Copies of this chain bind each other. A is one copy, B any other.
């Protein structure tokens, strides 16, 4: 966060109302979720929706980029520890986080809006990629690599491709806005089952190996 000063040095004078920060971020998520675009929103509109004065917004964030960055971090959730009994468990747990995020309307709409305007907010998009996407993909790859070490996963697969296949059907739903058809409990595990059955060490499947892809989770 832009203003997060770890040193809690209280400045003299009246203190900022801590509820305003929350109200403003909530306002952004609500309006984005209601169909607004990142560039379409203005700090004025946000202030009106949040029920605070314009000054209170401008005082906290100088630009929309700064504000949106805080919004992104507000919807970020920590990754689960990879301590499952099997690689399949770990993968399913990670995939569950993705499904969970997709099912959170406000979070998924925010990400969709960001994807749609990646060119208009390049630094924001880059930081979003570095701070949210990359760690998650790394975790997924780690889980698969451990599976290879333990023998649960075939050694000659393209790890990136498998990650891709795992999350694509879920992410595609974000783009089209049809997330309601996802079963929060089962979807993750079903996909995991399918992909593991498909890429597992049993038969001759997946002989066709694509070159590695650099993609996001």
Chain A residues close to B by CB (< 8 Å): 34-37, 39-40, 112-113, 115-120, 164-165, 167-169, 171-172, 174-178, 181, 190, 193-194, 197-198, 203, 205-208, 210, 213-216
Contact = CB atoms under 8 A, between A and B. Distances in A.
Identical copies in the complex = 4
A178 B119 contact: no
Contacts of A164: 169
A118 B117 CA distance: 14
A14 to B, nearest CB: 12
A215 B176 contact: yes
A106 to B, nearest CB: 13
Contacts of A120: 35-37
Contact of A208 (B115, B190, B205): B190
B40 A37 contact: yes
A215 B40 contact: no
Nearest to A174: B175
A35 B174 contact: no
30 contacts: A34-B119, A35-B117, A35-B119, A37-B37, A37-B40, A39-B40, A40-B40, A112-B115, A112-B116, A115-B176, A115-B177, A116-B117, A118-B177, A168-B168, A168-B169, A171-B175, A171-B176, A172-B172, A174-B175, A176-B216, A178-B214, A178-B215, A181-B213, A181-B215, A190-B208, A190-B210, A194-B206, A197-B205, A197-B207, A205-B205
